[in-house]
Amino acid sequence: MEERLRTLASISARHFSAHLDEVRLRSGHTTERIRVNHPTAAAVAPFLDDGRILMVRQYRYAIGRETLEIPAGKTDPGETVEVCARRELLEETGYEAGLLRRIFAYYPAIGYSDEVIEIFEARNLEKKNDFVDENEISKVEILTLDEVRDLVGREKITDSKTILSLCLLSGYFGMRSGA
């Protein structure tokens, strides 16, 4: 186990905080670790009745380019993960889910962050509006699973929550979609 000796520096933003800690290792040596405190997030794999999936294109500042991924976002203070999943789906695609099923939870950056992403499958979708959060989303795309597999295989989709969601829902890990 590693023991935090002191925090050397911290930065806090509206939705997370990051800390540089000095820690003592099991061997007794000291080193530095970065620790990010981040709220839980929800990711939604939304399927239309014909089996196609809704995905969103959005610019990701940290990597300097647009990505194609499933809708997702962090929980607001006091918000449940399921409410967050429903909100993000509507904000990013304009659709509401008649059926929302939790699939899995995982740590996307376990080496330095406490963020947990809970993955949901959404079915029985109903288009509620054409408005999407244009501050985040540049385009909503509807793809077949074969198209998505091809894009993953060609490394055009590299987002971990999207890839993991589709692996889980396609039965790759012995789990199956509700369809």
The catalytic site residues sit at 134
Residue type, 10: S
Q: b/e for 136-164, b at 16 or more Cβ within 10 A?
A: ebeebeebeeeebeebbeeeebebebbbb
**Positive or negative, the Cα torsion across 46, 48, 49, 50?**
negative
